[in-house]
Structure 1
Amino acid sequence: MRAPRLVATDLDGTLLRTDGSLSDRSRDVLAELDGRGVPVVIVTGRPMRWLSALRPVVGRHGLAIVSNGAAVYDVAADEAHDVRGIEVAVGAELARRIEEHLPGATFAVETVAGISIAPGFLETERIPEGSSVASVGELWSAPALKLLVRHPDADHERLRERVEHAVGDLATPTWSMEGLVEISATGVTKASALAALAERLGVDDSDTVAFGDMPNDVPMLRWAGTSYAVANAHPDVLDAADRQAPANDEDGVAAVLADLFGL
């Protein structure tokens, strides 16, 4: 197999260990690929505000795809590019539909500037420093990278099904953890953002290898020419990927990359 020209990897549950750390082995492999001029793009559901620690990891190209594909983040410059957000009017309609199908749903909105949270979305002690708390109608002051939905009583399957039904074709819902649905603008996925970035870098899907563990990774894994689910991945991800890598706590991404590139 020819060595890939582009590496795309999810963070939590995939590249990072369960405790959120990046192992020395993974750091060494990423540094070696950077030295060889192979871009490693972090493709994550995380917002920009959670990525400041990635500066030493992303290498010379310094790029990450954030918020499930809603923006490309220049980590070194701390700037967002190619932002594809949910417009204010669409967001208001989404919230109305979801409340109609799932009374008691609670919301938060991620924007380039940070997060705005409606009452009840998080316990007071868990609200991030610097975030704003506002009513649902006041959350939409700018296009949203993601609309986040929780419900205090609904189990995850009921939450996911009701939200997906309410959203219809007005936006793109997905999820990466139990009890939370993440909604992006229509057509925005990790795959759509990665495809656009790959084109800009002059790389085809056939020369891309991707790694993931949760359902929000599935579009990216299906787009990439070669895809791996880590062993601890959700069953839907294991079904979607071409191959299986060792678990995240066994540095599965690093192990596969070392083999692919002969490190």
Structure 2
Amino acid sequence: MSAAESSPAHRPRLVATDLDGTLVRSDGTVSPYTREVLTQVERLGVPVVFVTGRPLRWAEEVFEYVGDHGLAVVSNGALVWDVAGARPRLERPIDPALGLEMCRMLREAVPGTSYAVETLAGIGLEPAFLERHPLPEEARRAEIEQLFTEPALKLLARHERLAPQEFWDLAEEVVRGRLVITWSSATALLEISGPEVTKATTLALLCAELGVAAGDVLAFGDMPNDLPMLRWAGTSYAMADAHPTVTEAASHVAPGHDEDGVARVLAGVFDL
């Protein structure tokens, strides 16, 4: 069903959107048109909340578009960040003891696994972890036992020889729900969160604070880490170029992220 054919029956009270592959274009920018539409939606009194797998250090790059309310769900739900106050509003981290136990079990079951951890202070990586993106100067390199000494917002597991789905399936057999595993990369990079921590569960906590019901939320996404959020929201859109599992789960399909798909849907929904 196209975006034009599938507008919600009533006006949403909150918009939740993923960033990469959804709101942000392939060149890493947000178009002037999308910026203007987000501003107009905010002026109607409808908050636009960014719900992203990005760590805080990457999410900050687009906070200028988040609106006056200044709230973002970061690291797949491990952090709610008060943009205006530049401080955490909610943290849902992984306990180091549990995280290290899972690291040992996964590496034993899947040799060749390497790890990195994200905290509010930044990222730490094992020497064998090959990062595809530029790293901050303060990034640490050490074995996981030296890196994972405090609660972490996200544990990353990478494998250089397995396909993403294969690595995910093997990891799920090991972890068995004790931590939440998802992915949003074209490579075999797993994003691991604390027990029951997803974009959906944290967005639900935030919406409860704001007095917004799930049925009044309009959500956009494109990758498997968006699935819980899209299934939870009253109205959900997969991007036209989304992962097949996302297209299957969402109630509607929006134009692609390079075609300002989120903004085009919002312009129709809110009659802008």
Q: TM-score, normalised by structure 1?
A: 0.97
CA distance in structure 2 between the aligned counterparts of 1:204 and 1:193, rounded to whole angstroms: 13
**What is the CA-CA distance between 1:257 and the residue it aligns to?**
0.3
Gaps of 5+ in 1: none
The C-alpha deviation readout for 1:56-85, integer Å capped at 9, x for no partner, is: 211111010000000101122221221111
CA gap 1:124/1:259 in 2 versus in 1, 3 angstroms: closer
Tell me the alpha carbon deviations over residues 176-213 of structure 1, each in whole angstroms, 9 at most, x when there is no partner.
01310010001000000110111111000111100000
Partner of 2:122: 114
Give the alignment partner of residue 214 of structure 1, picking from 223, 226, 230.
223
Matched, 1:240 2:249: yes
CA contact (8 A) 1:55 1:76 kept: no
Where do 4+ consecutive residues of structure 1 move more than 6 Å?
Answer: none
Residue 159 of structure 2 is matched in structure 1 by: 151
SS of 1:46 mapped into structure 2: coil
Give the 3 Å change call, closer, same or farther, for CA 19–195 of structure 1 in structure 2: same
Does residue 34 of structure 2 align to residue 9 of structure 1?
no
Three-state SS of the structure 2 residue aligned to 1:13 is coil
**1:179-218 matches, cutoff 5 A:** 179-218=188-227
Post-superposition offset of 1:123: 5.7
**How much does 1:128 deviate?**
3.0
Number of the residue aligned with 1:227: 236
TM-score (normalised: structure 2): 0.93
Q: What is the aligned partner in structure 1 of residue 65 from structure 2?
A: 57
Secondary structure, in 3 states, of the residue corresponding to 1:14?
coil
- Residue 82 and residue 124 in structure 1: after superposition, are their counterparts in 2 closer, same or farther (change >3 A)? closer
| Counterpart-to-counterpart distance in 2, 1:235 and 1:114 | 32
Partners in 2 of 1:145 and 1:172 — Cα distance? 12
2:32 aligns with: 24
After TM superposition, the structure 1 = structure 2 runs for residues 62-141 of structure 1, keeping only pairs within 5 Å, are 62-122=70-130, 126-141=134-149
User: Partners of 1:201 and 1:259 in 2: how far apart?
Assistant: 25
Q: Shift of the alpha carbon at 1:126? A: 4.5
Q: Secondary structure at the match of 2:22?
A: helix
- Give the aligned length: 263
Unaligned ranges ≥5, structure 2 = 1-8
Q: Percent same amino acid among aligned pairs?
A: 52
Q: Counterparts of 2:188 and 2:250 in 1: how far apart (Å)?
A: 24
Determine the C-alpha separation between the residues in 2 that align with 1:247 and 1:185.
31
Q: Distance in 2 between matches of 1:125 and 1:13?
A: 16
Check whether the contact 1:110–1:116 (CA below 8 A) recurs between aligned residues.
yes
Q: d(CA) in 2 for partners of 1:196 and 1:73?
A: 13
Question: SS at the partner of 2:266?
Answer: helix
| Corresponding position: 1:259 with 2:268 | yes
SS at match of 2:183: strand
State the alpha-carbon separation in 1 of the partners of residues 164 and 131 from structure 2. Answer: 18
- Matched AA of 2:115: F
Cα distance, 1:101 vs. partner?
0.8
CA distance in 2, matches of 1:150, 1:221: 26
Q: How far has the Cα of 1:155 moved from its partner? A: 2.5
Cα distance, 1:154 vs structure 2:
2.2
* Partner Cα separation in structure 1 for residue 30 and residue 135 of structure 2: 25
Distance 2:184 2:96 in 1: 24
Instruction: Report how far residue 134 of structure 1 moved.
Output: 1.2
